[in-house]
Structure 1
Amino acid sequence: MRTSNPLGIFERYLSLWVALAIAAGVALGNLAPGAFAFVSGLELASVNLVVAALIWVMIYPMMIQIDFGSLRDVGRRPRGLVVTLVTNWLIKPFTMAGLASLFFLHLFADLLPAAEAREYVAGAILLGVAPCTAMVFVWSQLTRGDANYTLVQVAVNDLVMVVAFAPLTALLLGVSDIAVPWTTLLLSVGLYVVVPLVAGAATRRALAGRTRDRAAIARFVAALKPVSVLGLLGTVVLLFGFQATTLVERPLTIALIAVPLLLQSYGIFALAYLWAWAWRLPHAVAAPAALIGTSNFFELAVAVAIGLFGLQSGAALATVVGVLVEVPVMLSLCALANRTAHRFPA
């Protein structure tokens, strides 16, 4: 069992810091809505540039750890990729559609207007068809995932997303013409994967030099980890600040939307994680494989929801609730993965 604690006080009390960041975001969003509205408007192709910068700060330390010479070894261990791809594309979209329909159209039918309920189903489906691209690097880092393997998992997943997102969305929504926001998709992949990957490779090369001093790389990454956590907390403050008014004005609706999303998240993680355990995958591969399917590409889901149903639609609100519940849920799953790491092969 691993006993090292590389983030010290930041990692040990991360849940507390996130809870405080959520409270701060809601409070500041209601006290200074104009400031958050201004920051929210700093977008390019539905990607908020401030949030993108904070996520970049989170991802950059992990990208430094990627050894391109070791990427070829991933092909010798394809099972982690199988878990990721099957969970994300053959299971998750359909379980999300089923859970959303069950809760919004049946179990919560007396609590929600019928027209809104159908839009909430649509928003949940959009989340289910958009697996994570950016934040999974953060979750992988928190669970001490294999940086090389995580990069390949995300890269392959993104390639599948390019060809599978529109057909699956059309199938599950029953809409024949899905306008995929390609600018949002490509910009997000560029900002969250390509740019930090190039920056990380350049940093790694500069630190290692001709002697390939891995100790220098490890020291630099360790020094950046507190900054990475601060980036996460800043992201939480902004996300909750953007939606602070809605959280205060419609708490029951938010809670009802969150129920199937929470069940989906924990259920998908359990399925992928137990599958990886049954296959005897190493924990550094198993944890990211399960977390990729659990986390969502919320920029893409929100952009498509707004494009199809409108900014004030129930579908757009459901995707926003997905954003709000994701960070606390994913942190709890990272903690669970770390506590059970000893049950996986070294």
Structure 2
Amino acid sequence: MGIFERFLTVWVALGIAAGVALGLIMPAAFESIAALEYAQVNLVVAVFIWVMIYPMMIQIDWAAVKDVRKKPQGLMLTLVVNWLIKPFTMAALGVLFFEYLFAPWVDPASASEYIAGMILLGVAPCTAMVFVWSQLVKGDANYTLVQVSINDLVMVVAFAPIAAFLLGVTNVSVPWETLLLSTLLYVVLPLTAGVVTRSWLQRRSSHAVSHLVSALKPWSIVGLIATVVLLFGFQAQTIINKPLVIGLIAIPLVLQTYGIFFLSWWMAKLIKLPHTIAGPACLIGTSNFFELAVAVAISLFGLHSGAALATVVGVLVEVPVMLSLVAMVNAWRPAQK
């Protein structure tokens, strides 16, 4: 591991601190960057995420993708956790904490909105960042691509009905522009670029692909840190103004993340998934598609609602928590024989 990967947690912690500090010092600059969005997708963040996942896309071998069907257990684990378990455990935790444990400190109207925001996070499994987590745990790039692609297809038909059921509303309007634009920016375009790059490199030499991926790895980490700086810079004022509320929302979100991960890991071991498939499969279920969750929260409850705030807190806690899970997966990697 290089210095970037070895001290990744340190860089992310510095990125969080820098983001909050810069957001307070230069709020106008961050407001201008935040305004560069379309369909709730920030285009600057999209570029940084693209930088993060492009190296992994180069590693995808289309000749090996077809072999995924021979090992469907990883796909089944992902689908069961994401759509039959995670949304409902998130709703249960939200009710437990905000209707009971935190009731003395939160008024009922705000509590119901925080629960709604948590539910929207639970029904929106991650797309883009999964490629980053998979790369950090040395996951099977081909298998990860198939897992993410099938998850996105299921999301098209399952997101609205499950969200509507758990929220107790009759109609949840899916922001199709957000869903489609995110898929285009985070999957289709970098995948296409990766395929073209890989094909060109393979014609040059047998080692060209590995050499380029090694050269790009530091830039992938730079993209991650830059994304962290922006996300925390966007919410710096909220972090300072509402630390108690953010802390209260973060507690069940963190418990949900670790709980889903350990449940997924246990199930992966039960069905004897290889480590390179088990790692990404478990991480897919624990991270969230925050652009979609934020967009729906704003459309249903308003920009300044508790639901929108809860989805933003989901963004803030995800990267540090996911890095701790990445460290666990790497620590549990079987020794080479």
TM-score relative to the length of structure 2: 0.99
The residue number in structure 2 matching 1:92 is: 86
**Distance of 2:105 and 2:283 partners within structure 1:** 32
**Distance of 1:238 and 1:308 partners within structure 2:** 25
The residue number in structure 2 matching 1:130 is: 124
Deviations 1:212-271 (A, max 9, x none): x44210010000000000000000000000000010111111000000000000000001
The residue number in structure 2 matching 1:225 is: 217
Q: Secondary structure of the equivalent of 1:153? A: helix
Q: Give the number of equivalent residue pairs.
A: 337
**Distance of 1:79 and 1:222 partners within structure 2:** 30
The residue number in structure 1 matching 2:41 is: 47
The counterpart of 1:56, out of the listed 28, 50, 54, is 50
Amino acid at match of 1:334: V
**Distance of 1:273 and 1:56 partners within structure 2:** 28
The residue number in structure 2 matching 1:314 is: 306
User: % of aligned pairs identical?
Assistant: 66
Amino acid at match of 2:311: T
Amino acid at match of 2:210: A
> Is the counterpart of residue 67 in structure 1 residue 73 in structure 2?
no
Q: Structure 1 residue 342: deviation in Å? A: 1.2
The residue number in structure 1 matching 2:330 is: 338
Deviations 1:70-128 (A, max 9, x none): 11100000000011000000000000000011001110001111111100000000000
Amino acid at match of 1:139: W
The counterpart of 2:97, out of the listed 103, 106, 114, is 103
> Is the counterpart of residue 34 in structure 1 residue 35 in structure 2?
no
Q: How does 1:8-23 map to 2 (within 5 A)?
A: 8-23=2-17
The counterpart of 2:290, out of the listed 298, 301, 306, is 298
Q: Secondary structure of the equivalent of 1:204? A: helix
Q: How big is the alpha-carbon RMSD for the aligned residues of Structure 1 and Structure 2? A: 1.0
Amino acid at match of 1:227: W
Q: Secondary structure of the equivalent of 1:151? A: helix
The residue number in structure 2 matching 1:273 is: 265
**Distance of 1:127 and 1:49 partners within structure 2:** 21
Q: Secondary structure of the equivalent of 2:128? A: coil
The residue number in structure 1 matching 2:315 is: 323
Which ranges in structure 1 are unaligned for 5 or more consecutive residues? Answer: none
Q: Secondary structure of the equivalent of 2:334? A: helix
The residue number in structure 2 matching 1:285 is: 277
Amino acid at match of 1:158: D
Which ranges in structure 2 are unaligned for 5 or more consecutive residues? Answer: none
Deviations 1:275-312 (A, max 9, x none): 11121111110000000000000000000000000000
Q: Structure 1 residues 256, 73: CA separation in 2 closer, same or farther (over 3 Å shift)?
A: same
The counterpart of 2:106, out of the listed 88, 104, 112, is 112
> Is the counterpart of residue 148 in structure 1 residue 127 in structure 2?
no
**Distance of 1:217 and 1:280 partners within structure 2:** 31
Deviations 1:319-338 (A, max 9, x none): 00000000000000000000
Amino acid at match of 1:326: E
The residue number in structure 2 matching 1:161 is: 155
**Distance of 1:320 and 1:254 partners within structure 2:** 9
Q: Secondary structure of the equivalent of 1:258? A: helix
**Distance of 1:215 and 1:96 partners within structure 2:** 45
The residue number in structure 2 matching 1:261 is: 253
Q: Secondary structure of the equivalent of 1:175? A: coil
Amino acid at match of 2:130: V
Amino acid at match of 2:53: I
Q: Secondary structure of the equivalent of 2:60? A: coil
Amino acid at match of 2:5: E
> Is the counterpart of residue 196 in structure 1 residue 212 in structure 2?
no
Amino acid at match of 1:215: H
> Is the counterpart of residue 76 in structure 1 residue 84 in structure 2?
no
Q: Secondary structure of the equivalent of 2:174? A: coil
**Distance of 1:19 and 1:311 partners within structure 2:** 28
Q: Secondary structure of the equivalent of 1:341? A: coil
Q: Structure 1 residue 34: deviation in Å? A: 0.5
Amino acid at match of 2:56: M
TM-score relative to the length of structure 1: 0.96
Amino acid at match of 1:244: A
**Distance of 1:201 and 1:214 partners within structure 2:** 15
Q: How does 1:227-242 map to 2 (within 5 A)?
A: 227-242=219-234
**Distance of 2:50 and 2:206 partners within structure 1:** 23
**Distance of 2:77 and 2:128 partners within structure 1:** 19
